[in-house]
A and B are shown apart, each in its own frame.
Chain A
């Protein structure tokens, strides 16, 4: 009797096991490296949320050709060492077919040799242009290059006949990449940088730098950073009574910034992905459909507004989905198909990859917006 019951139990266990493993084809594993904690968590958290959300949705709709997707996410804490370890784990232990992330340029540069060596496609969610310039065989990216945002700003300044600017950038990866691009592109647009200052990511008072700018010949201030620094700067500008136009980067294109800076945010101009202005876009806009579905889903899932950082991960998952649909789920096939992607209208812009371009966007990926009455308005 006793033996019999054990047999029944075994059989039952086996059938459960069999149901799980043999009934449906194995899931396709996709890896993700996001800085969910640490200083860049403002990037990593929405990225992880978006990636999880879109994978759930794909699976709810029956997966890709009947196969489910499985997302394996590791937190890198913004540290290159941890990112490399996690990338190795994704490839060698979890056996993923593609990797999304990391969130920052530094981590991406650290992980990139691993992806190249192991032959696994990597879609970085970081903005630094050196990630895909020069082109690496296995590496793509979805975040718009900082250079594109800089061009958008400089074009605007040209229209306003402003030629002398002061730049104030944060001394982290985001700010230093912006600073590099601001300096590199200035001459092309006939712009002269008269003050080049930085501030620390945790600084709480920037009146010293701004006082120096006030005493200079600058006609406009460009600030490159992510929350909370720029909000402090906006308040300090108001405190010091500086009347120069204040231009920010796409690093603050979320409602959070307006909330933090309060009244001081009014009149600030910045380049941004289209996410924040999806409602006011003309219906002819190619991205409108993707944008609206992303914004609506994110709101439903997480009760907060989705931002364009989350959009980078959304784009990456959708690009991989497209590639698998067209060419199957081997790493090589995914890579080849990613490279053949043309005209994919995502959140960050309309992507068209080619063997010589693994970033896939042009400067139309950005629009210029102005903060008016605590809301966004398109600058024509």
Chain B
């Protein structure tokens, strides 16, 4: 087999994993852009999507599309509930406090899922078969196409929502300046609530759509969440194209790293590049420079 063929496969594999990271990264970016919060429990929302779908399919014997719909609704509920119970009652949220609360939330959700369900890994059926599709000399699975499609839809919807709807604009205003947003009559708390619900929905969709490939278990959210976070940071925490490019870049680097350099160090390579990006361009590769607010 030619090296060029191998590289084609590395690139394609990288793109398909990268799309997963991007999809999860958008969830981070949405919350950040409307609330200035990095939700460390985002990975757990992704996990909940997969686990709820499994629950509705296996325990309630519902068909896949119905299960997916219910799972998304259930996760939106969880995201909203989390915001209501932990973020809302805070009197004076500091960045440090928020980081720690969401880390606590991620541990809590993981623990509950582990005890209520189990510690096993489960698989979900692929949406449309698992016959590999040949592109040139490289292959991908039909499920990857679903991921690409959902990612594209997510960026478009995100763009439309934040640019053209009143709620979307209000959410952006909250991120820019909470106090000013409150002064012009925006219900800031409501917007924070919305953003958690939305990212819960998007996160769960991501979790459901990747589950046939990655499988799902109570702790699957840790690594996926981390990589999604990475993607968002590389992309400069912008809701749309930046995060997607960040995710794809991360995926490709990982895949090339594993194939050409060392599979054991591939995650280290990804994180070293992340650090370098942060050192050189702290605002992310695709983010705009920001000045300190005093």
Contacts and interface: CB of A to CB of B under 8 A. Distances in A.
| A and B in direct contact, judged by CB atoms within 8 A | yes
Interface of A: 37, 39, 41-42, 45, 171, 197-200, 202-205, 207-209, 211-212, 214-215, 227-228, 231-232, 235, 238-241, 256, 259-260, 262-263
A241 B134 CA distance: 10
A238 B46 CA distance: 27
Contacts of A238: 130, 132
Contacts of B123: 231, 259-260, 262
B158 interface: no
B263 A41 contact: no
16 contacts: A197-B258, A200-B267, A204-B214, A204-B224, A207-B13, A208-B258, A208-B263, A208-B266, A211-B6, A212-B6, A227-B120, A232-B215, A238-B130, A239-B139, A239-B140, A260-B215
B85 interface: no
B1 A239 contact: no
B119 A41 contact: yes
Interface in B191-236: 210, 213-215, 217, 219-220, 222-224
B159 to A, nearest CB: 28
B132 A202 contact: no
Given A211-B259, A260-B123, A202 B13 contact: no
Interface of B: 1, 3, 5-6, 9-10, 13-14, 16-17, 20, 114, 119-123, 130, 132, 139-141, 210, 213-215, 217, 219-220, 222-224, 254-256, 258-259, 263-264, 266-267
Given A37-B119, A199-B263, A211 B13 contact: yes
Contacts of A214: 1, 6
Contacts of A39: 219
Contact of B132 (A37, A171, A241): A241
A178 to B, nearest CB: 14
Nearest to A168: B263
A198 B263 contact: yes
Nearest to B122: A260
B20 to A, nearest CB: 8
A101 B240 CA distance: 50
B213 A204 contact: yes
B23 to A, nearest CB: 13
B217 A228 contact: yes
B139 A205 contact: no
Given A204-B17, A208-B13, A232-B215, A215 B139 contact: no
A239 B264 contact: no
Most buried by A among B5, B13, B140: B13
B259 A209 contact: yes
Contacts of B132: 238-241
B10 A197 contact: no
B71 to A, nearest CB: 19
Nearest to B251: A205
A211 B10 contact: yes
B10 A208 contact: yes
A198 B3 contact: no
A66 to B, nearest CB: 38
B264 A208 contact: no
Contacts of A263: 130
Contacts of A259: 123
A263 B255 CA distance: 25
B258 to A, nearest CB: 4
A228 B215 contact: yes
A41 B115 CA distance: 13
Contacts of A198: 263-264
A262 to B, nearest CB: 7
B255 A208 contact: yes
B121 A209 contact: no
A211 B9 contact: yes
Nearest to B224: A204
Contacts of A240: 9, 132, 139
A65 B14 CA distance: 63
Nearest to B10: A208
A215 B121 contact: no
Contact of B6 (A197, A202, A215, A232): A215
A227 B1 CA distance: 30
A228 B267 contact: no
A263 B17 CA distance: 22
A144 to B, nearest CB: 23
A108 B23 CA distance: 41
A102 B13 CA distance: 38
Contacts of B13: 205, 207-208, 211
B114 A37 contact: yes
B114 A260 contact: no
A202 to B, nearest CB: 4
A235 B123 CA distance: 12
Given A199-B263, A228-B121, A205 B6 contact: no
Contacts of A232: 213-215
Contacts of B5: 215
A205 B16 contact: yes
A63 B9 CA distance: 61
Contacts of A235: 130, 213
A197 B120 contact: no
Nearest to B118: A45
B149 to A, nearest CB: 18
A48 to B, nearest CB: 12
Nearest to B255: A208
A122 B132 CA distance: 50
A207 to B, nearest CB: 4
A37 B107 CA distance: 13
Given A200-B223, A205-B17, A241-B139, 20 more contacts: A39-B219, A42-B119, A197-B258, A202-B222, A202-B223, A204-B223, A205-B214, A211-B9, A228-B121, A228-B217, A231-B121, A232-B213, A239-B130, A239-B140, A240-B9, A240-B139, A256-B121, A260-B123, A262-B123, A263-B130
User: What 3 A-B pairs are tightest by C-beta distance, nearest first?
Assistant: A204-B214, A208-B258, A228-B121
Nearest to A200: B267
Most buried by A among B224, B255, B259: B259
A42 B120 CA distance: 7
